[in-house]
Structure 1
Amino acid sequence: MNINRRNFLGMGGTAALAAPFIVRPNLLSAHEVGLDAGAIPSYAKRRVGSAEITVLLDGTIDVGQDLIVGFDQDKANKTLKQQHLPAFESTRPLPVLGHVIDTGERKIAIDTGTLPGFSPKTGGYHAALKQAGIDVTEIDTVLLTHLHPDHIGGLSADKKRLFPNAEIVVNSTEWDFWHGSAADGLPSQVQPFVQIARDLTEPYKDRLRTFDNDAEVLPGIQAKFMPGHTPGHVGFHLHDAGEDLLFWGDLIHLPRLQFNNPEWLIAFDMDPAQTAKTRARMLDMAAADRVPVTGAHLEFPGFGYVDQTANGYDFVPAAYDYSL
Structure 2
Amino acid sequence: MPVSRRHFVAGALAAPVMVRFATLPAAAKAPMPTTQVAAYQQITVGDAVVTAISDGFLDLDVALLSNVTADEAAEILRNEFRGPSPVKTGVNAYVVNTPERTVLIDAGGAGAFPNLGGLVANLEAGGIAPDAIDAVLMTHLHPDHIGGLVTDGKPTFPNADVHVHKTELEFWTSAANRDGAPEGAKGFFDGAKAAMDAYGDRVKTFEGDGKVLPGIAARELFGHTPGHCGFLVGEGEEGLLIWGDIVHVGPIQFAKPEVGISFDAQPDKAIETRKAILKEASANRTRIAGMHIAFPGVGHVVAAGEGSYAFEPAAWQYDFG
Q: Could you say which TM-score interval applies, normalised by the shorter chain?
A: 0.7 to 0.9
Q: How many Å separate the matches in 2 of 1:231 and 1:210?
A: 14
Which has the higher Rg, Structure 1 or Structure 2?
Answer: 2
Residues 134 and 240 (structure 1), Cα distance of their counterparts in 2 relative to 1, 3 Å cut:
farther
Query: SS of the residue aligned with 2:88?
Result: strand
1:279 Cα deviation (Å)?
Answer: 0.6
Question: Aligned pair 1:85/2:82, yes or no?
Answer: yes
Query: SS of the residue aligned with 1:191?
Result: helix
Alignment correspondent of 1:145: 139
Instruction: Quote the RMSD (CA, aligned, Å).
Output: 1.9
Q: How many Å separate the matches in 2 of 1:157 and 1:145?
A: 20
Q: 2:115 aligns with which of 121, 144, 150?
A: 121
The code of the aligned residue for 2:225 comes to T
Kept in 2: contact 1:41–1:56 (CA 8 A): no
Question: Aligned pair 1:61/2:55, yes or no?
Answer: no
Instruction: Give TM-score, length-normalised by structure 1.
Output: 0.84
Q: 1:73 aligns with which of 70, 74, 86?
A: 70
Gaps of 5+ in 2: 1-34
1:85 Cα deviation (Å)?
Answer: 3.3
Matches within 5 A, 1:147-296: 147-180=141-174, 181-239=176-234, 243-296=238-291
Kept in 1: contact 2:288–2:300 (CA 8 A): yes
1:66 Cα deviation (Å)?
Answer: 0.9
Residues 294 and 139 (structure 1), Cα distance of their counterparts in 2 relative to 1, 3 Å cut:
same
Kept in 2: contact 1:237–1:247 (CA 8 A): yes
Kept in 2: contact 1:139–1:165 (CA 8 A): yes
Q: How many Å separate the matches in 2 of 1:53 and 1:252?
A: 21
1:240 Cα deviation (Å)?
Answer: 6.0
Question: Aligned pair 1:50/2:79, yes or no?
Answer: no
What are the superposed Cα offsets for residues 159-203 of structure 1, whole Å, 9 maximum, x if unpaired? Answer: 211111110000000000011122332122111111100111212
Q: How many Å separate the matches in 2 of 1:120 and 1:202?
A: 24
1:131 Cα deviation (Å)?
Answer: 1.0
Gaps of 5+ in 1: 1-37
What are the superposed Cα offsets for residues 51-84 of structure 1, whole Å, 9 maximum, x if unpaired? Answer: 1111111111111121011222332233223323
Residues 148 and 39 (structure 1), Cα distance of their counterparts in 2 relative to 1, 3 Å cut:
farther
Residues 157 and 184 (structure 1), Cα distance of their counterparts in 2 relative to 1, 3 Å cut:
farther
Q: How many Å separate the matches in 1 of 2:178 and 2:277?
A: 27
Alignment correspondent of 1:323: 319
Q: How many Å separate the matches in 2 of 1:210 and 1:320?
A: 35
Q: How many Å separate the matches in 1 of 2:186 and 2:314?
A: 39
What are the superposed Cα offsets for residues 210-261 of structure 1, whole Å, 9 maximum, x if unpaired? Answer: 0112131012211111111100000001116983100000001111221112
Alignment correspondent of 1:22: none
1:113 Cα deviation (Å)?
Answer: 0.4
Q: How many Å separate the matches in 2 of 1:64 and 1:81?
A: 15
Kept in 2: contact 1:111–1:143 (CA 8 A): yes
Kept in 1: contact 2:98–2:215 (CA 8 A): no
The code of the aligned residue for 1:201 comes to M
Aligned residues: 285
Q: How many Å separate the matches in 2 of 1:84 and 1:197?
A: 36
Query: SS of the residue aligned with 2:234?
Result: strand
Q: How many Å separate the matches in 1 of 2:227 and 2:236?
A: 29
Query: SS of the residue aligned with 1:222?
Result: strand
Query: SS of the residue aligned with 2:239?
Result: strand
State percent identity of aligned pairs. Answer: 40
Of the structure 1 ranges 192-201 and 237-246, higher mean CA displacement relative to structure 2 is found in: 237-246
Query: SS of the residue aligned with 2:148?
Result: coil
Residues 286 and 240 (structure 1), Cα distance of their counterparts in 2 relative to 1, 3 Å cut:
closer
Flag the structure with higher helix content: 2
Kept in 2: contact 1:155–1:163 (CA 8 A): yes
Q: How many Å separate the matches in 1 of 2:150 and 2:70?
A: 40
Alignment correspondent of 2:26: none
